[in-house]
Homo-oligomer: A and B are copies of this chain.
Amino acid sequence: MDRRGFFALGGAGALYCTLAATGNIGSDPKQTRKAVAAADKAASKVRRPRRIALDPRDRDRFPTPDPQPGGQVREYWVQARSTMWDWAPSGRDEWMNAPIPAKKRKRQFRAFTYQLFSPGFVRALAPATMPGPTLHAEVGDTIVVHLRNADRHFNQAITMHPHGVRYTPDYDGSYFGPFTRVGGFIAPGEEFTYTWECPPDSVGVWPYHDHGPNHTLNTFRGLFGAIVIREKGAKAPDVEEIVWFHSLGPEVTGLNRVLHCINGYAYAGNTPTFRAKVGQDVAFHVIGGNNDFHTFHIHGHRWKDNGGQLNTDTPTVGPFETITARFVEDNPGRWMYHCHVMSHQDAGMAGWYIVDPA
């Protein structure tokens, strides 16, 4: 496998041997398809590892935590499944008022998403989306996620690995090879219940994502979402948006170019059109995906940077890092928000933000 190939896919963890034998990913769509198919096949054959105890810590057992006094259990039922996805349902770029140079058939690919269900997985409460459901909690709460791997297409174990919260190794949600614990390998057809704590330093907005044996490919396909944790009793902003700056590359779409996306979509009119009113307390939480660094710009607006000292309108955000733009809305009109990496903006990472008068 050549160098480009190795990095286009990101190695895909345990699968690099397969990939190394398979060939090129990225520049040649046919080679890419073959290499991804081989990686997926290898991932589908990974069995729950027989655990070894290289270290005393590998034998430890941990109790499941309860909420702090006064705290609540925030319980979610989430199903992971692959689904066909259209990255540009309108077929057009509203910004440039032009058709997107890809036939509808070329806009469809098999994504992998987390979807919110009702208690007991009785029915879907929302469509399958990128990002998946936003999980909310306050300091002192526990977040309990019942995760069901309902996918039979890829037939691979998946997980949910959270940032920002506190968890014992069992609830890390990460495949660790021979050190994998229960939450690190949710096989097709299985359910697992994660319990995470929200100590005071969990306040913030954080990503969650797959960290199973094929985490890179499956996270790229859409297995990601956000967790919002506030101080106890803190008021939510009037408008609060989760904005994933991620890409859909050839290894995911089968196209020969990278789409720079927002919440699964590319190009204004497909990417979310956000909306607020003058006087509202507005927060955009921007999270990076994949391998790229971004700068987040909103036309007509400024805010304090994450340290609270500096006025900014274009801060840097890296992969799986979060930056927040929070301000009291004062400027009506149609605005654009976008990544200010010019090549990302031009490859789809732009959308509308429309502000109504008070």
Q: Which residues of A contact B (CB under 8 A)?
A: 1-4, 6-7, 9-14, 16-17, 20, 26-27, 49, 54-58, 60, 62, 93-99, 101, 161, 163-164, 166-169, 172, 174, 176-179, 201-204, 206-207, 213, 215-216, 219-220, 250, 256-258, 288, 290-291, 293-295, 297, 299-300, 302-321, 331-336, 340-347, 354-356
User: Is B98's CB under 8 angstroms from A17's CB?
Assistant: yes
User: Is B98's CB under 8 angstroms from A346's CB?
Assistant: no
User: Is A101's CB under 8 angstroms from B17's CB?
Assistant: yes
A25 to chain B, nearest CB (A): 11
Q: Which of B96, B207, B291, B307 contacts A177 (CB 8 A)?
A: B96
User: Is A55's CB under 8 angstroms from B334's CB?
Assistant: yes
A178–B95 CA distance with the chains assembled, in angstroms: 7
A291–B340 CA distance with the chains assembled, in angstroms: 8
Residues of B contacting A317 in the complex (Cβ-Cβ under 8 angstroms): 316
Q: With A309-B308, A333-B60 in contact, do A256 and B316 touch (Cβ < 8 Å)?
A: no
Residues of B contacting A321 in the complex (Cβ-Cβ under 8 angstroms): 295, 312, 314-316, 340
User: Is A309's CB under 8 angstroms from B311's CB?
Assistant: no
Residues of B contacting A257 in the complex (Cβ-Cβ under 8 angstroms): 1-3, 6-7
Residues of B contacting A55 in the complex (Cβ-Cβ under 8 angstroms): 334, 354
Total copies of this chain within the assembly:
3
Identify 18 new A-B residue pairs, CB closer than 8 A, beyond the known A11-B346, A167-B300, A293-B293.
A1-B257, A3-B27, A6-B347, A7-B257, A16-B346, A20-B101, A54-B94, A57-B332, A164-B313, A172-B299, A172-B335, A219-B342, A288-B295, A291-B344, A307-B308, A315-B318, A316-B316, A320-B340
A163–B11 CA distance with the chains assembled, in angstroms: 34
A307–B101 CA distance with the chains assembled, in angstroms: 43
A340–B161 CA distance with the chains assembled, in angstroms: 13
Residues of B contacting A56 in the complex (Cβ-Cβ under 8 angstroms): 356
